């Protein structure tokens, strides 16, 4: 059974710092991995999608990497801003992705202080 773990559960950093959020999964047979952002009480905003054949994806100040063999992904946020404060969720889709569902970690709650 696939399990997704995110470390740390919470993180507080001063504005301007670069930071890394970690995600690990127990079954390497994944179809893709997505990183999401969730503001309090709101829905999920997709940040980056990495297909199983890819190693990384970049969007603006965000870079996500995937190491399928070790069951790890990282989300790198450069030059953090107070507006980046939110909960970041990692989710994997099992192989056979055309019928897949997403399995989520519990998230990392990020607070960026001005």
Where do contacts with another protein occur on this chain (CB under 8 A)? 4, 31-32, 34, 36, 41-46, 49, 51, 89, 91, 93, 97-107
- Give the Cβ contact number of residue 12 at 10 Å: 11
* Rounded (5°) CA angle 14-38-3: 100
93 contacts 102 by C-beta, under 8 angstroms: yes
- Residue whose CB is less far from another protein, 33 or 77: 33
Q: Which one, of 113, 110, 111, 90, lies nearest residue 102 by Cα?
A: 90
Tokens of 4: 């997704």
* Smallest separation (angstroms) from another protein to the CB of 69: 22
- Residue whose CB is less far from another protein, 34 or 80: 34
* Smallest separation (angstroms) from another protein to the CB of 12: 17
* Smallest separation (angstroms) from another protein to the CB of 46: 6
CA within 13 Å, CB half, 18: 6
- Residue whose CB is less far from another protein, 9 or 79: 9
* Smallest separation (angstroms) from another protein to the CB of 14: 25
The Cα–Cα gap between 100 and 66 comes to 19
- Residue whose CB is less far from another protein, 14 or 41: 41
């Amino acid at each position: 059974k696939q399990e997704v773990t995110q470390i740390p559960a919470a993180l507080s950093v001063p504005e301007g710092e670069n930071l890394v959020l970690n995600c690990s999964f127990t079954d390497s047979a994944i179809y893709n991995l997505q990183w999401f952002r969730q503001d309090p009480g709101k829905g999920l905003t997709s940040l980056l999608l990495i297909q199983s054949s890819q190693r990384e994806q970049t969007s603006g100040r965000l870079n996500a990497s995937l190491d399928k063999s070790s069951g790890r992904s990282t989300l790198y946020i450069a030059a953090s801003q107070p507006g980046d404060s939110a909960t970041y969720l990692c989710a994997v889709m099992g192989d056979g992705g055309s019928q897949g569902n997403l399995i989520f970690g519990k998230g990392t709650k990020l607070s960026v202080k001005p």
